[in-house]
A and B are shown apart, each in its own frame.
Chain A
Amino acid sequence: MMRKKVLLMGKSGGGKTSMRSIIFANYSAKDTRRLGATMDVEQSYVRFLGNLILNLWDCGGQEAFMECYFAAQKDNIFKNVEVLIYVFDVQSQELDKDLHYYQSCLESILQHSNQAKIFCLIHKMDLVPEDSRDTLFNERQTMLIEISRPLQCTCFRTSIWDETLYKAWSQIVYQLVPNVKGLEKTLTNFADIIDADEILLFEKATFLVISHCTRKPHRDSRRFEKISDIIKQFKLSCSKLTAAFQSMEVRNSTFACFIELLTPNTYVMVVISDPSISSEVTLINIRNARKVFEKFEKDVSRN
């Protein structure tokens, strides 16, 4: 069983706990309103892909705690970190202070876990007027990349009210999936055999896209996170009836899309636009592929 430590840091009220609740705890965006300030560090263990445990350290951002993190608790917090996620509230009036804390984090990371991957989320973008979003994000991104040297950071713009949240977290989680390249190769093989336009692999609980194979180019580059969003919303609706969905088929005259359980921890989405391939054929193919992917997962966890 692999454990990977993920640090979630940022100023108080930035949105760290809300994001983590939506992604990992099935909160809806509306539900996050009732979350209170995080006291000190909240650790949670999230089982991901069956054989991986994400140890999330949600570090409360109030000043008193922040000072502590860089002093007394420094070793404890910054050792063995795989991923650092720093959340910037786009509407913060104290940009300098935020950057100062960010730099302190980077120093500590450099000292204790210099292989850690760093992600910066420019959050609450829904509060920025739509026409200024791009410029604002690019500004911040350039600034952060500059400040982070020699470490490298990847920046995302996010909001809990749209699909950008899923895009950022998919990329983050992608870094943590063991043998993700092998997974992609197997997926590509599968896609070639069944002549699919596109295959997406989702983690079952969070519905984040962890792998994909695209054989036919598509016009919408944001479709992965949109689909995560659509399905996650549907899952939330189902949960009101204490139900879960097990499989889905959506089609019209131009495409057919199948969402099925592939392994006990993953869902697969197969998109086929060849109208001559019947549903039954694809479903049989998916069923047969299950054994291959299950074996793959077992092999990975053994290693």
Chain B
Amino acid sequence: MNYGVSGVFDTATNNSLNTVGDYPHTFQSHYHPHSRPYSNGFHNSLRFNSQNRLDDNDDNQQQSQQQQYQQRIDGDYETDDINKSKLLMWGLTKSGKTSIIKLIFEKMSAGETLKLPETKMVQIHELTCGIYVKFQIRDVPGPKMSSLNDFEAFASNSTTIVFVLDITEDYSDAINLLVSSVQWMHQHGHNVRFEVLIHKIDGVHEPDRLERYSTIQKQVSVMLHECSIEKPMINFYLTSIYDHSIHEAFSKIVQNQMKQLRALENMLNLVTESTQLDKIFVCDIYNKIFLASDTKPVDTQLSELCCDVVDVYTGISSIYGTSNNSLLDSMSFCTIELSIGLILYLKDIDPTTALICILKKESKINEALMEVNLNILKKNIQELFLMFAKNSTRQQLNTSITSIE
């Protein structure tokens, strides 16, 4: 449940969306410097730590704290700009692009996103999932028809395009836009991945959903085949902001951006193979995005439940934890025993990321041993992230040196 952190959000909406007055429907081609500091672990920990759930008195204090953190973040981001993944939210107007970002990264409730005005200016969000996975999302005003007018300007430097398709409307225009965007990218030689969210799927009767999915997929691949684009990098997902599917889809999208993914997965596989743990997820507790998991298949409902464990942990910790510290600290853990013989276990990795493990009750876990194993895993994951971060800065230094020569 979202407790509507309204004080903070209202100021956010007023600052960045700026829908009062006439704004030309054109792209502003410079970096938008003060889009809100979204979903940085530190930023969000401010929201949880003070008594801000239903008391709206601490706005001013929070704003100044946020500005401080924004300065810190801006500093960090300057060095990482070159190699960072850049995502573009693309799709017809009113398809749901901004709602998705607000829901996942700003913890807006689904009901509130319905009241969002149309996006008229480009919003650039610098986001992190769990401190080390950094990426940029560009949220643009969507065209009313399938025209590529501003696409070139919007899509410059994008590494991935997240295409949102509203399945409750007549989607032939949307498919045309998608196909022409893919064509454009192909013609200009950009190797860009398209992640298509078949969105608002809650408006489709359940038995029909898979059918729609395959129709759209087939139609798109046929149309691309006609333009002689073979094997395009496109993934399709069925999503809705009213359930967990959007988090799942975005988790996969974020995972596709992560260079650390393969290594992380291998690490987690090793652990599940050699211990009693059945399944391990690495999750950012503020966005509820899964950064990685071991490759054993799991019931979707069970992975949804793991997400809900995060809700329980953050809910209870924000009530009973003291407001000065971060919600997730080195002694955090949460265990929940279920009647179906499973135990869900949450443990911290760093202040924004947690490990969520599923184990069977009957496996007679030696708790102390599990503590030791998980601590080792935690340290290794931290080192892995640090190593990747160092390597990328080293690469940037190298490139800058060569360009001077």
Contacts and interface: CB of A to CB of B under 8 A. Distances in A.
B222 to A, nearest CB: 37
Interface in A16-49: 30
A246 B333 contact: no
Interface residues of A, number: 38
Interface stretch (B23-31, B62-70, B188-196, B321-329): B321-329
Contacts of B335: 248-249
Interface of A: 30, 126, 130, 161-163, 219-220, 222-223, 226-227, 229-231, 233-234, 237-238, 240-255, 257, 271, 273
B203 interface: no
B219 interface: no
Given A220-B51, A230-B316, A250-B313, A241 B331 contact: no
B311 interface: yes
A252 B111 contact: no
Contacts of A248: 312, 334-337
Contact of B1 (A220, A230, A251): A230
Contacts of B143: none
B227 interface: no
A31 to B, nearest CB: 12
Contact of B331 (A220, A244, A252, A273): A252
Interface in B286-340: 299, 301-302, 304-305, 308-309, 311-313, 315-317, 319-323, 325, 327-340
Q: Quick one: which of A223, A244, A249, A251 has the most chain B CB within 10 A?
A: A251
Contact of A245 (B323, B331, B333, B339): B339
A233 B319 contact: no
Given A227-B319, A255-B320, A246 B242 contact: no
A227 B320 CA distance: 10
Contacts of B311: 230, 233-234
Nearest to B111: A161
18 contacts: A130-B6, A222-B53, A223-B319, A230-B315, A230-B316, A231-B312, A233-B308, A234-B308, A234-B336, A240-B304, A241-B302, A243-B340, A245-B337, A248-B334, A252-B321, A252-B329, A255-B317, A271-B320
Contact of A249 (B6, B328, B334): B334
